[in-house]
Homo-oligomer: A and B are copies of this chain.
């Protein structure tokens, strides 16, 4: 795959973006499930190959990496993205971290403290399953922080991400957008199937009852923190096959723009051949 083959499936969120106007059932840029799955399978190899080059580059001084931030309402399919998109990459080049409710130790620090510790190393692809955005999402909806503190955080996040990008990390932020009806169907399935019961938590319904508040919190967070350096993409996610294809496309685009190359040896190849032959 060359740099010219990748076309962004979606536009980044801009100031005029309205989440409520994005149809979770839509599949922009992709006509069918069959075509999406075919491209997903092919893209897996491209992504794996690009990541290997990025990793190789880092072994000879390269300092670049990629960070995929995943945010969504429960059941929107973050886990499926990790399994089906990221799962095609050599696991040695991937660092996945799921941010849960902060521990007591984490609460004693700035909200970005635990985030910084999980940033991907050089040559790696980092994946955040939830992130520092919880501090302006659930914190806003549940009132865990005051409006003044939350107001300040949008700017702090933008500064933080600009710093991360300047240090060599390409940031791709994805919000998986499902409808309230689709969430109900997916939660029902978790209750209906004994092999899915473990994925259900009574707290999921408590959060669901605050659906509109969360949509509003996402609307604000997405528009205030989508920057040219670290754009947000809102991905329609009622069709899992679409969301997986689209997120893979976003990652492929980011990696293709990085265009990592096999590094030149920093040792004398002919001299090493001679040493090896004599060993």
Contacts and interface: CB of A to CB of B under 8 A. Distances in A.
A147 interface: no
A67 to B, nearest CB: 15
Nearest to A271: B202
Given A198-B59, A205-B275, A276-B188, A83 B87 contact: no
Given A59-B198, A197-B264, A188 B273 contact: yes
This chain's copy number in the assembly = 2
Contacts of A275: 202, 205
B272 A200 contact: yes
Interface stretch (A8-16, A89-97, A233-241, A246-254): A89-97
A198 B60 contact: yes
Interface in A172-190: 184, 187-188
Interface residues of A, number: 42
A279 interface: yes
A202 B270 CA distance: 12
Contacts of A269: 191, 197
Given A83-B91, A87-B87, A197-B265, 13 more contacts: A56-B198, A57-B198, A82-B92, A83-B90, A86-B91, A187-B276, A191-B269, A191-B273, A194-B262, A197-B269, A200-B267, A205-B275, A208-B279
Interface of A: 56-57, 59-60, 79, 82-83, 86-87, 90-92, 94, 96, 98, 129, 184, 187-188, 191, 194-195, 197-202, 205, 208-209, 262-265, 267, 269, 272-273, 275-276, 279
